[in-house]
Amino acid sequence: MLSLYHQVGHNSNWNIDSFEQDNCGDGLILSPVHQPCLRVESLSSQTKGRAFFDPQFYLPNSTKQKLQTYEFFPEVVSGGFRTTDFMAHAFESARLCIDFQISNGFDRIIIPARYFEDMEPTYIEKQEAYTLTPFLEILGSMEIDVPVYFTLPLTSNMIKSEEYRTDLLNWLTGYPEIDGLYVFSYEKRATKQVQDDEYLYQYLAFLHELKEAEFELIVGYSNTESILYSLLGDVSLTMGSFENTRMFSIDKFLVSDDERRGPRARIYLPGLLNWIQFGQAKTIMQDMPDLWRRIYSPTNYADETLAAPVDPTFNQPKLYKHYFQNFSSQIESLKPLTIEQRYNEIRDSIRTAMGNYEAIQSNAFDFERHGSMEHLQPWLDAINRYYRNFIR
């Protein structure tokens, strides 16, 4: 079944409220870097039963405060993480992490993995020693009735390398104990939306190969391009609030004293398949009301924000809850469709969005860089190529 999970981040109550009160999404992916241990444990058993916990071992020596509240985190369990010494603590870390997930009643067990920025030649060996072998050995001695997933952190260079992908596929298929994979990828880019059609196609192709190997898939840390991955069939997609839950980076695990200026508030407009600067969106609403009705799907959250006398800031919840409602509706509309029907629907949506952009721009209006339509043609190229090679 096609499903949609909240990639929970900072201000986790926004996601939790959206899930529990607005019925947006099918579950939660809980985030220890953003939620201290007691906060996760205090969630209702009903919510935890439709959630899973990502242990986030990506940067094992992270000293981020909330990660330090988990006794199994590598930096904590080893009293200061060092690669050469961690093997003495790997099984203890695995046992504590598994016990935590089981005791909280999550809907699956997630085996964590380390993140490597480059095409690490010993990626497989390091992942096995670091978590996979200890976790599977301990799980093998237990009787559990929930599926087991392994985390697969990738980069765009790994995905674009057919040889590297083949090695990963051959490795993973050697573990029948693994039911599914929690996959995500870091793609270095200067824009908020993915604009690399080669990357998108190769990612879709690799995910297809994993599906063919009978792995259940969760495709994490995605922005609006998440909708494209519905072409894989029965997979779990994700949606997040702040950008660091809609694209993966290691930055959130680093302790930094640098002050960052907050970005401008944006609103998600389904008719453009993009997040638009709030000020620009409001101009379209005021100056082009007919076009506005084509690109905006109203929610109480956005209606109230658009009617307010003061524009919102990026760290207020209403526009994110508007996004959750809109994106959930888009994914819900795809659930009953066949893969070919989904392709036709997504293709039409992209082409419609392109037409909406062109109509707005013909009214003497130019979008700023991140709100532009530059992502749409690469998306179209990627899904058309995927259709020709894997669907038709």
Query: Predicted confidence band at 256 (pLDDT cuts at 50, 70, 90)?
Result: confident
Specify the number of domains making up the chain.
2
Which pLDDT tens digit goes with each residue over 103-149? 999 999 999 999 999 899 999 999 999 999 999 999 999 999 999 99
216 plus 304 within the same structural domain? no
235 plus 335 within the same structural domain? no
13 plus 130 within the same structural domain? yes
279 plus 208 within the same structural domain? no
215 plus 273 within the same structural domain? no
Q: Is the dihedral of CA 317, 319, 320, 321 positive or negative?
A: positive
Distances in whole angstroms, Cα of residue 217 to Cα of each of 248, 295, 356, 371, 383: 17, 31, 33, 30, 19
What tokens does 338 get?
A: 């066949």
81 plus 174 within the same structural domain? yes
194 plus 125 within the same structural domain? yes
Q: Which residues of 151-163 are buried (b: 16+ CB within 10 A; e: fewer)?
A: bbbbbbbbbbeee
Residue 312: inside a domain: yes
246 plus 351 within the same structural domain? no
Residue 338: inside a domain: yes
Query: Predicted confidence band at 257 (pLDDT cuts at 50, 70, 90)?
Result: low
Residue 307: inside a domain: yes
Residue 259: inside a domain: no
Residue 382: inside a domain: yes
152 plus 287 within the same structural domain? no
137 plus 204 within the same structural domain? yes
Which pLDDT tens digit goes with each residue over 180-239? 999 999 999 999 999 999 999 999 999 999 999 999 999 999 999 999 999 999 999 999
CATH code (residue 170): 3.20.20.380
Contact between residue 350 and residue 386 where contact means Cβ atoms under 8 Å apart:
no
Which pLDDT tens digit goes with each residue over 47-97? 999 999 999 999 999 999 999 999 999 999 999 888 788 888 999 999 999
Phi and psi torsions of 6, nearest 5°: -75, 125
Residue where a domain terminates, one of 192, 226, 253: 253
Distances in whole angstroms, Cα of residue 267 to Cα of each of 16, 237, 264, 281: 20, 20, 10, 7
41 plus 159 within the same structural domain? yes
Domain that holds residue 248: 3-253
- pLDDT of 88 reads 87
Residue 261: inside a domain: no
151 plus 249 within the same structural domain? yes
Judged by DSSP in three states, 266 sits in strand
End-to-end CA distance of the chain: 21
Residue where a domain terminates, one of 253, 278, 303: 253
Residue where a domain terminates, one of 201, 228, 253: 253
> What average pLDDT does the chain have?
96
Q: Which residues of 124-135 are buried (b: 16+ CB within 10 A; e: fewer)?
A: eebbbbbbbebb
Distances in whole angstroms, Cα of residue 189 to Cα of each of 195, 202, 245, 253, 382: 8, 16, 15, 19, 17
Residue 120: inside a domain: yes
Residue 368: inside a domain: yes
